[in-house]
Structure 1
Amino acid sequence: MNINWRSRLATQLATVVAGCALAGWPFGHVGLAVALGLAVYLAVTLRHLLRLHAWLLSEAPGAPPEAEGLWGEVLDRLYRRQRHEQRQREELLAVIGRAQASTEALRDAIILVDRHGNLEWWNRAAETLLGLRQPQDLGQPITNLVRHPRFSDYFLGGDYGEPLELASPLNDDEYLHILVTRFGEGDRLLLVRDVTRLHQLEQMRKDFVANVSHELRTPLTVITGYLETLLDNADHATPRWRRALGQMQQQAGRMQHTIDDLLLLARLEATDYPADNRPVVLEPLLASILQDGRALSGAVGHRLSLECEPGLALLGSETELRSCFSNLVFNAVKYSPEGGEVRVRAWQDAEGAHVAVQDNGPGIDARHLPRLTERFYRLDASRASSTGGTGLGLAIVKHVLIRHRGGLDIHSVPGEGSCFTCDFQPEQIAQRTAASA
């Protein structure tokens, strides 16, 4: 096409030159005639260029200016391309308009945040759920507008594997579910959903379990007391009755243990952070738990060892941390074979503090790992019954770690053993001077 235009332009110039030369030849002024012809041709070309320039600069360009020949084709092609681009732009604007209309109709808030954490766009639901204002908050850091310590830690931490639930900044009785997704070059998309109803149902469940557990303690204490009295005076009873009373006492003790664990879970879920937050030195705490583990092992003869970095201490509740670590150690002892080995390690690095409990037991299949911290979840009901477990130990571990800004990492290979690692953030590590004091 370019070659065709060039040939046509060359043909036009040759025609102008030839015509002017023929016109000036009878008068003996061929050069002057050619110069005048080229001047006129240049003037016409400049006129078309100026009209084209004016048309392109027009804010609402309509049809292109009229022209003939080569210039007419150029203007027609430009006009057709302009109309094609305009149709594409209208289609794109229609798609964008429909997308914006659909997001405006959502009850969930959608928020776009750039790589610096500044607000770029949000839908109408974000104004209702988070109180964002248009256009005052545009370009503002989102952490300045959603002022909640847990949200700041979650958003700035960059670990968005799990969603965040917290009270609404506008109403303490409402609860929000926040999920962050990365896209582009460091940009983030926030999806905020009102989960007040689900939170109320969950709270009703927790209150029900806590109240029922509390109400069961009194009759269970009475039953246990009478069973102890009967067993103390069962010297003249038949072996059949003594065996029945012993089984009743064993099951009553197991129920008491379950109720105690349920009440502990209810207390752990009542607040976000432990009230008695103070430095807890790990070495004596873990040594005491291992001593209890050896007593639990008894004649089975498990080998328990401790390797702890000297002076390492965590900020938190000693009672809750003891419950967390003892559940892991006792589980390792219960499920390890006779003469098995249980290793406990505690150390710190750039990522924080870590406490690992490793055993050489039967291991856990990978399909069970995501559900291990659920309440009452058991791999094998018969095995759990034989060990006296309640199915609440790892749920307690999970909630204690959440309250101490930690997480649980589980690595297990069937037939080779398991390793449960408690990971704590660096800010949970207490200063050694404070720990030693």
Structure 2
Amino acid sequence: MNQNWQGALVRQLLLLLGGCLLIGLITGEYAWALVVGLIGYLGWTLQQMRRLLQWLKRNTPDDAPPDSNGLWGDIFDNLYQMQRRDIRLRGQLQSVIDRVQGSTTALKDAVVMLDSDGNLEWWNPAAERLLGLKKPQDTGHPVGNLIRHPSFKEYFDSGRHEEPLVLASPVNERLWLQFTITHYGNSEHLMVVRDISRLHLLEQMRKDFVANVSHELRTPLTVISGYLETMLEHTDEMPPRWPRALNQMNEQAGRMQHLLNDLLLLAKLEATNPPANAQPVAVATLLQSIRSDAQALSADRNHDISLEADPTLLLKGSEAELRSAFSNLVFNAVKYTPAGGEVRIRWWCSEHGAHLAVEDSGIGIESKHLPRLTERFYRVDSSRASNTGGTGLGLAIVKHVLLRHQGRLDVNSTPGKGSIFTCHFPLSQATTQ
């Protein structure tokens, strides 16, 4: 490698000037000698530039730059080092790309890369098996043109990809797929598709089992409850110890009936499609009715139950389902709030959508329990079951109803200070009178 380019340039200029002076001393024509020297140097420089341009046009990795000396020698040497470094880095990058492609090719899950507009860029062989994609004819096409399910289009266009989407495979209806979309880079999308057919089958078996058992238990329980009520009407004719036992049996039969009703409601919510062409529901009127029921539930515990609702704000959906979800939240607030406590119900609209908040001054919930509150039969404290008469299914019902109405549930709670349960609905579900 020659010296730095400044030194090479100074050295070449000094040599040029010295040569011109020597020629001028011999010929006596200093000016012409300087002009001829500068023209010669310019011609040599242009020749080096032409050689450089020809080398750049060839653009072959194994073709070394031209040889030269002086300043141009430094330029060619630096270009050669840059070429070697670029070849080495490209080789390393290609090795990483080959390893990534090899690992994704071996995956059983489909991996699909989409650009910012949702057009197909690359996918692994599993995507061809699960989604029916074909190379190269599908490259560059919108993914929505190849996966033509309305739920997928709505899921992709919504931009809300926190929760996965479950659909039947477009090439085999017996396969159930879970779609997960992650954003990366310049708004590109990485879509991972898993075959969850076995899990879906097990989940369907569980749902069918719960629904069938609930139906089978309803008839014998109705018979037992009917005989208990009949016997309780004739307690005067019974031994003194029997009425207390019969009352307890009737109370537990009622709790079991409540549990069966919740199980059947959950089974119905899971087995049926969300309400289509739903009519707007007057939520303010619905909440007023729920508030009256909550005051009756409070009885002599004297809770301060307040309601603040926008009467012009309506919500598209099923009134029966919304009543079930909202009443579960309000009744839970009453049950777990000490006597004389406050329960505040709010229904309002913002730029982000419609919202229902139920706030209480009850015992609160520790943060470690919050992620599992909507699980079936999950209880923060199992000893409270007998005290409140709950089934452990209320918040699970709330979750399913909100999902069917494109909503979500947020829970904030501080032990000893109370809890806030907030339902959020998109603006597309809200309307005004």
Counterpart CA distance in 1 for 2:32 and 2:278 is: 103
Letter in 2 for 1:352: G
User: Which deviates more, 173-182 or 75-84?
Assistant: 75-84
Partner residue in 2 for 1:242:
243
- How has the CA–CA distance of structure 1 residues 263 and 68 changed in structure 2, closer, same or farther, with 3 Å as cutoff? same
Instruction: Specify the alignment match of 1:52 in structure 2.
Output: 52
Amino acid at match of 2:199: L
Aligned mates of 1:286, 1:32 — CA distance in 2: 103
Alignment partner, residue 382 of structure 1 = 383
Shift of 1:390: 0.5
In structure 2, the partner of 1:4 is 7
Aligned counterpart, 2:352: 351
Question: Closer, same or farther in 2 for the Cα pair 1:16/1:400, shift >3 Å?
Answer: same
Gaps of 5+ in 2: none
SS at match of 1:390: coil
Query: C-alpha offsets along residues 147-174 of structure 1, whole Å, 9 cap, x if unaligned?
Result: 3333233322222322222233333332
Change in CA separation of 1:8 and 1:361 when aligned onto 2, cut-off 3 Å: same
TM-superposed CA distance for 1:282, in Å, is 1.9
CA contact 2:21–2:33 (8 Å) conserved in 1: no
Partner of 1:258: 259
Aligned mates of 1:315, 1:37 — CA distance in 2: 89
* Residue 267 of structure 1: how far off its partner (Å): 0.4
The Cα shift of 1:37 comes to: 6.3
**What is the rounded CA distance, in whole Å, between the counterparts of 2:312 and 2:65 in structure 1?**
83
Shift of 1:32: 6.5
1:103, distance to aligned residue in structure 2 (A): 1.9
Distance 1:400 1:67 in 2: 79
Shift of 1:388: 0.6
- Residue of structure 2 in register with 1:197 after alignment: 198
Q: Cα RMSD over matched residues?
A: 2.7
The 5 Å alignment of 1:77-92 reads 77-92=78-93
Give runs of aligned pairs for residues 16-165 of structure 1, distance below 5 A. Answer: 16-17=19-20, 20-21=23-24, 24-25=26-27, 44-60=44-60, 62-67=63-68, 74-165=75-166
Report the residue type matching 1:102 in the other structure: S
- In the TM superposition, what is the alpha-carbon distance from 1:344 to its structure 2 partner? 2.1
Quickly say closer, same or farther: Cα 1:81–1:254, change in 2 above 3 A.
same
1:4 aligned partner, one-letter code: G
In 2, are the aligned partners of 1:314 and 1:428 still within 8 Å (CA)? yes
Question: What's the CA shift string for 1:111-158, capped at 9, x where partnerless?
Answer: 333333333333333333333343444343333433333323332222
Distance in 2, matches of 1:276 and 1:262, equals 26
C-alpha deviation, 1:305, in angstroms: 2.8
Residues 270-328 of structure 1: CA distance to partner in whole angstroms, max 9, x if unpaired?
Answer: 12303683232223322222222222222222233322222432222221111111111
| Percentage of pairs with the same residue | 56
- Whether contact under 8 Å (1:315, 1:430) holds in the other structure is yes
Does the 8 A contact of 2:282 with 2:311 survive in 1?
Answer: no
Q: 1:68 to 1:359 in 2, by over 3 A?
A: closer
2:423 aligns with: 422
Asked if 2 retains the 8 angstrom alpha-carbon contact of 1:16 and 1:38, the reply is no
For the residue of structure 2 that corresponds to 1:63, the secondary structure is: coil
- CA distance in 1: counterparts of 2:46 and 2:340, whole angstroms: 100
Q: Indicate conservation of the 8 Å contact 1:274/1:317, yes or no.
A: yes
SS at match of 2:241: helix
Whichever residue aligns with residue 205 of structure 2, its letter is M
Counterpart for residue 305 of structure 1: 306
State the aligned residue count.
429
| CA 269–7 in structure 1, closer or farther in 2 if over 3 Å, else same | same
Worse-matched range after superposition: 11-20 or 92-101? 11-20
- C-alpha displacement at 1:72, in angstroms? 5.0
Q: Separation in 2 of the partners of 1:52 and 1:285?
A: 81
- Alpha-carbon separation, structure 2, partners of 1:66 and 1:296: 96
